[in-house]
Structure 1
Amino acid sequence: MRMENVLSSWNGPDSLIVENFDKNVRFNMEMALDKACQSLPPALNNHDFRRMIAVKIAEQVKGGPCSTETINLAAAKAVEDLRQQHSR
């Protein structure tokens, strides 16, 4: 799954469209998503959870210019939040 597939299908109140981000930012978002999903436990490594992480990354980037480190931190935080929610 690519970020553009996730984001263009998200129909939240402030729909995120990947075209709003430049090519380099999209690349960094893709890399952060892939890295974050590699650290997911098997039970959480599926389309729905990957999509949740992608949305969190996009929300971070939508807030303004972000460094690669900031994008990776947003992805890592999304993974940690998912782990905590599903360990209860």
Structure 2
Amino acid sequence: MMFFVESFNDRTKANMEVALERGCESLPINLRSDHGARKRIGEKIVECAEAGRRTLHELTVAAKIAAAEFGSE
């Protein structure tokens, strides 16, 4: 996954970082620092960016959807 992240421009990478934090903020408190949860949300963000959806809004939506799915398991 790291290879793919390096292929994005600086703005996209910054948007991805902000989206990850916003997605994690929507997790229950006990999961916010959970590595597995953060990784899964990050993977969904990368998938979103690879599909060409790279705005902060689009990436944040993907992150929050992933967080909601993780929290409902």
What's the TM-score bracket when you normalise by the shorter of the two chains?
Answer: 0.7 to 0.9
Q: Distance in 2 between matches of 1:68 and 1:54?
A: 14
Greater percentage in helix: 2
Query: Would you say how many aligned residue pairs link Structure 1 and Structure 2?
Result: 72
> Any unmatched runs of 5+ in structure 1?
1-6, 9-15
> Which protein, 1 or 2, shows the higher relative CO under an 8 Å CA cutoff with sep ≥ 6?
2
**How far does the alpha carbon of each residue in 1:32-68 deviate from its partner, in whole angstroms, 9 at most, with x for none?**
1011112211332211110000000000000114221
Percent of matched pairs sharing the same residue: 32
Instruction: Give the TM-score, by structure 1 length.
Output: 0.73
- State the partner residue of 1:58: 46
- State the partner residue of 2:57: 69
> Any unmatched runs of 5+ in structure 2?
none
Alignment RMSD: 1.4
Bigger Rg, which one: 1
